[in-house]
Amino acid sequence: MATAERHVPHLKRDFAALRKDFPALQQLVHGRPLAYLDNAASSQTPLSVQDAVAEQQRLNHSNVHRGVHQLSERSTAAYEGAREKVRRFINAPSLAEVVFTRGTTESINLVAASFGQRLEAGDEVLITGLEHHSNIVPWQLLCERTGARLVVAPIRDDGSLDVAAFGRMLGARTKIAAFAHVSNALGTVNPVASLIAKAHAAGAVVLVDGAQAVPHLRVDVQALDCDFYAFSGHKMFGPTGTGVLYGKRALLEAMPPYQGGGDMILTVSFERSTYNALPYKFEAGTPNITGFVGLGAAVDYLSGLDFSALAAHEHSMLEEASRRVLAEVPGARLIGTAPAKAGVLSFVVDGIHAHDLGTIVDSEGVAIRTGHHCAMPVMERFGVAATARASFAFYNNHEDVDRLIAGLKKAVEIFRG
């Protein structure tokens, strides 16, 4: 998945310099410089994305696909240009296989609602114990509608998937296997290529939740051979309300529309309607045009980064933060210590609620996430109600780690005296 791109001289790897591209990181919070460590929830946007959004709103605001006037043509070109950028970024074979949605959640719901119509009573959907609620609830709803059964592969004490158990749970009844590329709650990186191959060998169709992977790993959907891959703009330095569903063309062609309305049709009469070609069959109504123009700019920005250097930089911060939380914060315990991890650090501190930790470190200008992270079954698996989560992006630095540790020490002093 990662390429030998470190040898390409034009790719950017000076992350200290790139930090200046993000205006939000230059501000003071509670009178202190912001250390933004909540990237797994939403990453910040660079100036190039903000400028693209502003220009679209200022000069080109118009609907797409339906007008012959200049503003509509500009909007359509920018909107469809973003689709081509996404196609290249994930190496999808065709533009027809890149469906624009509101985010990972809608992408998964689309597959569950449309492809899921072929499931019957007794069929099975296999997921894992690592999943975000968005990769649990849509399948529960599908099982309720069809009489299918939801099967969950367990995770180990270190937060890694029990791959052997996953393989044993695959069978003739498994119609869909759906799993995260990277866990949002623990940072665990799943061996997705191997899982996809196992699922295909059992005859299952595979959906990968890539929301936490696309900002940190080079993703090649053809190399993975996944059937569906879902991700969100706001986690990859783009606008909120934007997302992508990649789907293999043959599957998308055979699936019924997800929603009805404008742009997803060719003809409408009171007797019957005919549907538009891919990907528009799944894009009913006026889309988030400005958002997707911004997403295109975010893809441009990401495409210019050296992902090998990016991964090494983020991993160095994860390693330092993990070591120092355990060594310097009394009563701290890490939740999720899988050998393969992205830049997500979840932890608890004995006697101090995660929300209190978050409040205290915020007073020091440090932004982390606290709670169950839309992964309540993960919290139950580890016997905790919530964790504090620091999540890193390429624009973070070791001073951010220093600030995090200082804020946690202050919390311990306040609550323990």
**Residues tagged active-site:** 374
- Residue the block writes with tokens 């109600």: 385
Bond into 279 cis (ω within 30): yes
Tokens of 144: 């309720």
Q: Minimal CA–CA distance to 304: which of 24, 18, 30?
A: 18
Q: Which amino acid, residue 260?
A: G
Angstrom distance (rounded) from CA 82 to CA 112: 26
Tokens of 290: 């400005």
Phi/psi at 275 (5° precision): -105, 155
Q: Minimal CA–CA distance to 16: which of 221, 309, 414, 248?
A: 309
- The SS3 assignment for 347 reads strand
- Angle at Cα 117 formed by Cα 111 and Cα 121, nearest 5°? 120
Angstrom distance (rounded) from CA 166 to CA 162: 6
> Hey, which bits of 136-239 come out as E strands?
149-153, 174-180, 205-209, 228-232
Angstrom distance (rounded) from CA 140 to CA 243: 22
Q: Minimal CA–CA distance to 49: which of 232, 306, 245, 299?
A: 299
Q: Which amino acid, residue 164?
A: A
Q: How far separated are the first and last CA of the chain, in Å rounded?
A: 48
Count the residues in the chain: 417
Angstrom distance (rounded) from CA 353 to CA 412: 11
Pairing type for strands 205-209 and 174-180 reads parallel
- Residue the block writes with tokens 């000069």: 59
Angstrom distance (rounded) from CA 282 to CA 234: 21
Q: Minimal CA–CA distance to 195: which of 243, 227, 150, 231?
A: 227
